[in-house]
Amino acid sequence: MDLKQLKAFIVIADLRSFSAAAAQTGLSQPSLSRLLKQLETDMGVELIDRYHRPLNLTEAGAFFYDKISTILTEIDTVTSMTQRLSAPSSILNIGFVPSVLYGLLPEIIARLKQSSPDIEVTLKDISSYQQMDALKSGEIDIGFGRFAHQDPWIQQILLRHERYVVALPKSHPLAHISDQRLIDLANNRLILYHQTHLPITTALTKPKPASANLTANTTVNPKSSRSTKSAASFSEPITEPLLHLFAQYGISPFTTTTVSDLQVALGLVAAGEGITLVPASLQTVRTEQISYQRLVHENVTSPIYLHTLKDFVHPKISDLLTAIYHVYEQRGITYRQQKFM
């Protein structure tokens, strides 16, 4: 059994096709078939049922796939980390979620470059969960995200909590009322935009609807990236971040519309198609059409986390942290200074 055989098995199992696996790997179909056969002979186990199309894993093959794919991922991670340790890059590759870019990230990067003129920075728009794999592969060295993660390869620190504000169309009856309450917003269509959901362990169960005039219908527009559903059709547990915030107060919005990203959500708000909640740093976007109002609930916040590898911390990350805390102090933002181990 060797790595070449294992990787051949994984790609065949993933694609369920020798021809597709050959196209992806650049190996011929006979070569892939031979590698798989050698692996099965070494183990004395049939891993793939070749008599059906698409190919199917045997029961033993499914078990082996589940275990060996995790091991191969760890081998790739260790290899990448070893290479970076032996030849550290002078470039600091930073991943970020879009909402952070609208906040203080540009100011932080400017401060970093001012205090360390020799530093070279690259920025990559990447979701919180995708940042975990990007850190392991070396695609990024550090990531700004909105969600906590439990990963044995990753360490994270909480930078701060950012208050949510409600974004309403300028024509909305509540558009000029400050200090909004979630219960007063529940009869509106709530526009959801998060692609990353909360882990099941932190999710809440479905609350009672805020309105008695609910139906259980769900409609999806095939020509659009958005879908609309009533609150009564939510499945348990609630892992969507905005719905989770409402559920903390026992509230379920009347209807929801799900879109692909934050910009689309704010575009729909501007068009009068609903309301949404966004971190306070985004309240400068589309201000001609959107009114942003404060929420009275102090715990309705969006955290900002910083993630990096446990066993390899880029030498420039300490400079980045210094720049972050400098900007926080200038802005009067409350924080607790931390560092990576």
Query: Could you report the per-residue pLDDT of 41-58, keeping only the tens digit for each?
Result: 999 999 998 887 888 899
Number of domains into which the chain is organized: 3
Residue 229 falls within a domain, yes or no?
A: yes
Residue 337 falls within a domain, yes or no?
A: no
Same domain, 22 and 108: no
Helix boundaries (H) for 213-316: 241-247, 262-270
Residue 341 falls within a domain, yes or no?
A: no
CA distance 188 to 190: 6
Same domain, 268 and 323: no
Q: What was the pLDDT predicted at 81?
A: 76
Are the CB atoms for 229 and 192 separated by under 8 Å? no
Same domain, 221 and 233: yes
CA distance 75 to 192: 37
Do β-strands 120-125 and 91-96 pair in parallel, antiparallel, or remain unpaired?
A: parallel
Q: What was the pLDDT predicted at 231?
A: 46
Residue 256 falls within a domain, yes or no?
A: yes
Residue 311's CATH number? 3.40.190.10
Same domain, 115 and 178: no
Can you point out the beta strands (E) in the chain? 48-49, 56-57, 91-96, 120-125, 142-145, 154-169, 189-192, 218-220, 227-230, 255-258, 276-279, 290-294, 301-309
What pTM was computed for the model?
0.71
Same domain, 215 and 278: yes
- The domain boundary, picked from 84, 102, 135, lies at 84
Domain extent for 48: 3-84
Residue 32 falls within a domain, yes or no?
A: yes
Q: What was the pLDDT predicted at 185?
A: 96
Burial code (b: 16+ CB inside 10 Å, e: under 16) for 245-267 equals: bbbeeebbbbbbbbbeebebbbb
- The domain boundary, picked from 84, 103, 138, lies at 84
CB neighbours (10 Å) of residue 181?
Answer: 15
Phi, psi of 166 (to 5 degrees): -95, 135
Written as tens digits, the pLDDT of the chain (341 aa) is 889 999 999 999 999 989 999 999 899 999 999 999 999 999 999 999 888 788 889 999 999 999 998 888 888 878 877 877 777 677 999 999 988 988 899 999 999 999 999 999 999 999 888 999 899 888 999 999 998 888 888 999 999 999 999 999 999 999 999 999 999 999 999 999 998 888 766 666 665 555 434 333 333 343 344 555 444 444 578 889 999 999 999 999 999 999 998 999 999 999 999 999 999 999 999 999 999 999 999 999 999 999 999 988 898 999 999 999 999 999 999 888 998 98
Residue 136 falls within a domain, yes or no?
A: yes
Q: What was the pLDDT predicted at 235?
A: 52
User: Coil, helix or strand for 139?
Assistant: coil
